[in-house]
Structure 1
Amino acid sequence: MTQPLSARPFHLRWTLTVTAAEAAGFLAPAVVGAATADLPWYGALPALLAAGAVEGAVLGWAQAAVLRRALPALRGTRWVMLTAVAAVVAYLLGTAIGLGATGPGWAAIVVAAVCGPLLLLSIGGAQWLELRHHVARAATWIPATAVAWLLALAAFLLLATPLWHEGQRVGVSVAIGAGAGVVMAFVQAVLTGWWLLRLLSQGRRPRRRQPVPTG
């Protein structure tokens, strides 16, 4: 069953823990992205997907660590695995969007229109598979995390894009990405924590009654 929780301490714990974990986990794709910038996409992709798995696993572990205080029955290992797989899918979709942008205008629009929403929904959709067993209205976690990641990625791009330039040293590129990654991590942590608190305040999802044998 869900445990009583105080809103402000829970949100603060979630925000600090998840921000730190996502910022740390994002260092993996930041380093890989800078180190493989001169490689063709198919040469960089395996390393990028592996780095995405690391980022997702670290993020999922931190989220589960906080969430299990309120939902002791949450399967932490499953939550971590789902988040890691979703992160890999998100990076794969992001690569597809990047490749589409190099093609004809209509292709870029079509690829972005298809892959963009799927990318934003990937983390929340994967985590819903576990969360639905523990809270009511768990499906709202999917669009809520999508909005959180949309705003977080927008913050990242607004900060990092003007500072990145061709010919930069790898260390400089990584530092820019890491700094913008902290802001990205904070934005998504604050917003997802706020919505998660709303879900937890509504209590656990009632279990279905098992049919009573007759005869």
Structure 2
Amino acid sequence: MTTTELATRGIWQSWFRWTTAGEFAGFLAPALVGALTSSAELLVLAGVIEGAVLGAAQAAVLRRVLRAPQSWDWIGATAIAAGFAWAVAMIAVHNGERLNSLPLVVLLPLAAVAGTGVLLSIGVAQWFVLRVHVHRSHIWVLANALAWSVGLGVFFAVATPLWQAGQPPALIALIGAFAGLLMAATMAAITGAALVHLVKRG
């Protein structure tokens, strides 16, 4: 294995560890809040906390790999984007009956726009910070959309059959945390590959 291959492998491993840990730790906030309450406001706030923790973990790697961007810019962008994604999700959840009453010709485009906004939110927000430091930074937006799409798919595939009506809040939170860990690892693996690609291209 060449020196370059070792270096890029080290970048991916570092990103994978930090991002997985950051997203898992951050996701505990909405997992716990969601187990205790259905308050949309509190869940959006928990989502902002999730984004801030994730952003801080990722910034720790970016400072070494790119010697940029500024940590607070990255953390702030990630926190705002995560809050936005949770807000969109809460609007959908708390207006489920009203949305289900809409004709498919209206509901499907609305769902597509909302889903796209959620999947692109973090990648686009981080791109505004990253674009001045790397070439072809638009790849980051696409990679994040893929990463979160697959990661959320993993989360719901694991959590949905395990969650049952009448479960105690502690068990609901534990299931959510376990599924969140798998989601975090999936997202970290995909975005880590994208980061290595961007670093190689300079």
TM-score by length of 1: 0.86
Matched, 1:67 2:62: yes
Flag structure 2 segments of 5+ consecutive residues without an equivalent: none
How far residue 99 of structure 1 moved from its aligned partner, in angstroms, is 4.1
RMSD between superposed Cα atoms in Å: 1.4
Q: How many residues align?
A: 194
Output the amino acid matched with 2:79.
A
Q: Deviations over 1:145-203 (max 9, x none)?
A: 00000000000000000011111100000000000000000000000000111011111
Matched, 1:80 2:75: yes
TM-score by length of 2: 0.92
TM alignment of 1:146-157, pairs within 5 A: 146-157=145-156
When Rg is computed on C-alpha atoms for both structures, the one with the higher figure is 1
Alignment match, 2:92: 97
Flag structure 1 segments of 5+ consecutive residues without an equivalent: 38-43, 204-215
TM alignment of 1:20-35, pairs within 5 A: 20-35=21-36
Q: Distance in 2 between matches of 1:73 and 1:8?
A: 20
Alignment match, 1:19: 20
Q: Distance in 1 between matches of 2:110 and 2:83?
A: 18
How far residue 96 of structure 1 moved from its aligned partner, in angstroms, is 2.7
Alignment match, 1:53: 48
Q: Distance in 2 between matches of 1:80 and 1:172?
A: 30
* SS of corresponding position for 2:64: coil
Kept in 2: contact 1:97–1:108 (CA 8 A) = no
Q: Distance in 2 between matches of 1:57 and 1:34?
A: 21
Kept in 2: contact 1:96–1:111 (CA 8 A) = no
Same amino acid, percent of matched pairs:
44
Output the amino acid matched with 2:111.
A
Q: Distance in 2 between matches of 1:83 and 1:192?
A: 14
> After the TM superposition, which segments of 4 or more aligned residues of structure 1 sit over 4 Å from their partners?
none
